[in-house]
Amino acid sequence: MMIDLHTHSILSDGDLIPAELVRRAVTHGYSAIAITDHVDFTNIEFVLDAIRKTSFLEDEWNIKVLAGVEITHVPPGKIAPLADMARSLGAEIIVVHGETVVEPVAPGTNTAALRADIDILAHPGIITHDEAELARENGISLEITSRAGHNLTNGHVARITSEIGCELIVNTDTHAPEDLITDEMAFKVAVGSGLDERGALAAIRTNPTRLVESVRG
């Protein structure tokens, strides 16, 4: 069953309202989804207040819906306080928009994020060994993504993490209906990044399942 911990709704730059996003995820065989809309200090209260209300969908469909955020293009020095604020506002999953090679993310974002109270560093780009060590030490997962552009460095991320021993999670970074994928496709994304079968299964099942269970107890 697909677990996807990085998606977006119309509460930031996605195409779908949360209910439709979740419904479409159900039809793709999802067992859990985190809605992680883009936030900074200007909109975090509004976004989290709205996303937290999506829990009503769990009563209707067989899927866990986690309230999350993606801290995006926030100056590195402000990432940790914003992550703490997100936790205090009820965020169950905190993602930080990493140093992808296709956007002008501020240098130092990866390191600042990996020193903060977050769960996932998304599309971390040309991540360094030192950054991967921080991820391992702090129990933060690094993302292998199916999203075009951001996925250009999946192979590098997979190689570095295999050397360091930190956890990987496959996510979609969904913004539109066609971005959602099946468990089978997630496995192909993982293998395509250079992971062996065992590593791929960990990235699409074991690691995201552990994270969801740690959130929901």
Question: What percent of the chain has a predicted confidence (pLDDT) above 70?
Answer: 100
Tens digits of per-residue pLDDT, 45-64? 999 999 999 999 998 999 99
Taken as a whole, the chain contains a residue count of: 217
Query: What kind and span of H or E run contains 2?
Result: strand 2-7
**How does DSSP assign 103-142, residue by residue?**
S-PPTTHHHHHHTSS-SEEES--S--HHHHHHHHHHTPEE
Does the pLDDT at position 149 exceed 90?
Answer: yes
Say how far apart CA 32 and CA 61 lie, in whole Å.
11
Residue among 86, 158, 77 nearest 117 (CA): 86
122 CB contacts (<8 Å, ≥6 apart)? 6, 70, 95, 96, 97, 98, 100, 143, 145, 150, 171, 173
Tens digits of per-residue pLDDT, 117-148? 999 999 999 999 999 999 999 999 999 999 99
Query: Which value, in Å, is the radius of gyration of the alpha carbons in the chain?
Result: 16
Say how far apart CA 148 and CA 153 lie, in whole Å.
10
Tens digits of per-residue pLDDT, 157-208? 999 999 999 999 999 999 999 999 999 999 999 999 999 999 999 999 999 9
Could you tell me the residue range of the domain that residue 98 belongs to? 2-216
What does the pLDDT read at residue 216? Answer: 79
How many domains would you assign to the chain? 1
40 CB contacts (<8 Å, ≥6 apart)? 71, 72, 73, 74, 82
Q: What is the mean pLDDT of residues 12-36?
A: 98
Does the pLDDT at position 100 exceed 90?
Answer: yes
Say how far apart CA 68 and CA 110 lie, in whole Å.
19
pTM, to two decimals: 0.98
CATH number of the domain bearing residue 149: 3.20.20.140
Say how far apart CA 100 and CA 147 lie, in whole Å.
11
Q: Which residue carries 């391992």 as its tokens? A: 136
Does the pLDDT at position 79 exceed 90?
Answer: yes
CA distances from 28 to 2, 24, 63, 116, 168 (A): 8, 6, 11, 33, 22
* Tokens representing residue 74 in the block: 């926030």
